[in-house]
Chain A
Amino acid sequence: MKMNKYVERIYNGIIKENPTFIIMLGMCPTLAVTTSGNNGLYMGLTTTVVLAMSNLLISALRKFIPDKVRIPAYIVVVASLVTVVQLLLAAYLPVVNELLGIYIPLIVVNCIILGRAEAYAAKNSIGLSLFDGIGMGLGFTLALSIIGSFRELLGAGTIFSFKITPDSFEPISIFILAPGALFTLAILTALQNKLKLPSATNGSAGNNVGCGGDCSHCMGSTCTTNREEISSKAETSKVTIAKKSEAGDTQNQK
Chain B
Amino acid sequence: MKELIMIIIGSALVNNVVLSQFLGLCPFLGVSKKTNTAAGMGAAVIFVITVASALCSLIYSKLLVPLDMGYLQTIVFILVIACLVQFVELILKKYSRPLYSALGVYLPLITTNCAVLGVALINVTEDYGLVKSTINGFGTAAGFTIAIIIMAGIRERIEYNDVTKSFQGSPIVLITAGLMAMAFFGFAGL
Contact = CB atoms under 8 A, between A and B. Distances in A.
B175 A186 contact: yes
Interface in B100-116: 108-114
B174 A185 contact: yes
Interface in B110-129: 110-114, 117-118, 121-122, 125
A183 B175 contact: yes
B29 interface: yes
Interface stretch (B2-10, B57-65, B69-77, B131-139): B69-77
Interface stretch (B48-56, B90-98, B163-171): B163-171
8 contacts: A108-B117, A109-B112, A111-B112, A178-B22, A186-B174, A193-B165, A216-B29, A220-B109
Contacts of B112: 109, 111, 114, 220-221
Which bucket holds chain A's interface residue count?
35 or more
A32 interface: yes
B72 to A, nearest CB: 7
A106 B25 contact: no
Contacts, number: 141
Interface in A109-149: 109-111, 114
Contact of A220 (B20, B108, B167): B108
A15 to B, nearest CB: 22
A189 B122 CA distance: 31
A138 B167 CA distance: 29
A12 interface: no
Contact of B26 (A28, A32, A181): A28
Nearest to A214: B170
Contacts of B177: 182
A191 B112 CA distance: 29
A72 interface: yes
Contacts of B109: 219-221
Interface of B: 19-27, 29-31, 71-75, 78-79, 82, 108-114, 117-118, 121-122, 125, 165-175, 177-179, 181-182, 185
A193 B166 contact: yes
Contact of A219 (B31, B117, B175, B182): B31
B10 to A, nearest CB: 15
Contacts of B71: 83, 87
Contacts of A191: 166
A76 B175 contact: no
A82 B177 CA distance: 30
A148 B19 CA distance: 18
Nearest to B76: A79
Nearest to B175: A186
A106 B117 contact: yes
A189 B174 contact: yes
A82 B22 contact: no
Interface in A70-108: 72, 75-76, 79-80, 82-83, 86-87, 101-102, 105-106, 108
A72 B166 contact: no
A-B pairs, top 4 by smallest CB distance, nearest first, are A182-B178, A186-B174, A216-B29, A194-B166
Contact of B170 (A29, A174, A201): A201
B169 A221 contact: no
A41 interface: no
B111 A108 contact: no
Contacts of B75: 76, 79-80, 83
A215 to B, nearest CB: 5
A179 B171 contact: no
Given A86-B74, A183-B174, A216-B30, 11 more contacts: A28-B22, A28-B25, A102-B125, A179-B182, A183-B175, A187-B171, A189-B169, A189-B170, A193-B167, A215-B29, A220-B112
Nearest to B81: A109
B113 A220 contact: yes
Contacts of B121: 102, 105-106
A184 to B, nearest CB: 9
B155 to A, nearest CB: 12
Contacts of B111: 220
